[in-house]
Structure 1
Amino acid sequence: MLNRLVTSPYTLIWTIAIATCFPALPSYARKILKTNPFPTSGKLIELTNGDLMCYVDIIDFRGKKYTLGADFEICNRTRYLNQRVKLTYRKTKVNHCQGIDACGKSIVKNLIVKMELIRK
């Protein structure tokens, strides 16, 4: 019986009719549905200076490990290692060359620009 309802042309017509009667989600609701791919807090595991940016290894509260880009001054925060931190991001232009030579190419990335210690 269920297969007959799903494959019935009437079911398809009613589905289309109902879908067209309801408006799309308003813009504020779409913003709520978007998930942030970057963690806003977590336990700081490692800081590594790279050629283009500082690299931050962090574990979020679910136990997922991330390697994120950050400003070079963030790598000086070694006293935050193995502690919980709050992260703030900003879109920043990053050099996009293969070596250390300046080639004039850049890309925009979300980098950590602020790191605060979370006090318990």
Structure 2
Amino acid sequence: MSIKRGLSLGMAIHTSAVIALLLLGGCGGEPETTETSAALAPEHETSEPEAAPEPETDPEPVAAAPANPPTTPTAPPVAMDTSGYPEIVTITELQPGDLMCYAQVMDQSGQVFEIGATFEICDRRDQLMNQVVRLAYQQENVPDCESAEPCGRSRTERLITETIILGEQWSVFSNGSWTVTVGQIETWNGQNNTGNLTYYGCDPQGNCLALSGGAITCRDGMCYMAWRNGNYTYTLASEIGEEASGDTRLLVFEGEKEILNTGGMDEIATSES
């Protein structure tokens, strides 16, 4: 079941009873992107302005980046080709070594990889073992020595530097420029402003942001998954219902000022695919 169908079903059950990630692809042409400070409506630029809802509580996100909009990160990561390196995996082993942490991970197809990681990843072994996570990589300098004893030499290695827990239910949205991975969707209980969703979003330049503490709110034919990061709010807004267009938009607000509104965020991968 896709997340949109899941959200629609969740609303039906609870009304008789996804979000806008440490540091932050699609079909059919260039995505429509607007950056405006006037429009606050997440649904349509031509409709009556309506501010995207924020969680009623103020969850404190665990961010892997400073509180900056995704278009102006203060410390962009080193650009590099990560093809061939798995992104969504299950961690099966973490072992500290003399020079780095050694991670064994398995991707969705069952292929096993041995990948270096920073020592901080090994420090979280109890939390990460057997978890489904989104991996983030950086180029790091490691000692080029035969043991932990200093030798005055170093080399550059691509290491796992961040893990975003995805949980049992997750989805990846992309419009070919922006990509957002949403995890722990199962923490939403069907009631508005609930959940503990994780977020990992990347802009067209490859600058990424990780957040947690996201919540889901559904009303008036729309479902919003929203995260707070300081004065910034990151939201994924999706139309739901039988007559909905199915479009999902990524919105970013600085306070009440909309600074990003980009559509065509198609669901390209899920935990059920």
Give the structure-1-normalised TM-score: 0.68
5+ residue gaps, structure 2, are 1-80, 170-273
In structure 2, relative to structure 1, the CA distance for the partners of 1:40 and 1:97 (3 Å cut) is same
> What secondary structure, in the 3-state scheme, does the structure 2 residue paired with 1:86 have?
strand
Task: Quote how far apart the aligned CAs of 1:35 are.
Answer: 7.0
Give the structure-2-normalised TM-score: 0.31
Superposed CA offset, 1:86-113 (max 9, x none): 1000000110111222111111010011
| Contact kept? 2:99, 2:147, Cα under 8 Å | no
Please tell me the residue identity of whatever aligns with 1:85: V
Tell me the equivalent position of 2:133. Answer: 85
For the pair shown, the structure with the greater C-alpha radius of gyration is: 1
Please tell me the residue identity of whatever aligns with 1:92: E
Tell me the equivalent position of 1:106. Answer: 154
Tell me the equivalent position of 1:19. Answer: none
Tell me the equivalent position of 2:233. Answer: none
> What secondary structure, in the 3-state scheme, does the structure 2 residue paired with 1:42 have?
strand
Which residue of 77, 87, 94 corresponds with 1:47? 94
Question: Quick one: distance in 1 between partners of 2:121 and 2:91?
Answer: 11
Q: Greater relative contact order: 1 or 2 (C-alpha under 8 angstroms, separation 6 or more)?
A: 2
Q: How many residues align?
A: 87
> What secondary structure, in the 3-state scheme, does the structure 2 residue paired with 1:116 have?
strand
Question: Quick one: distance in 2 between partners of 1:104 and 1:115?
Answer: 30
Give the aligned CA root-mean-square deviation in angstroms.
1.4
User: Percent of pairs identical after alignment?
Assistant: 36
Tell me the equivalent position of 1:10. Answer: none
Superposed CA offset, 1:49-93 (max 9, x none): 000000111001111101111110101222221120110000001
Aligned: 1:59 with 2:90: no
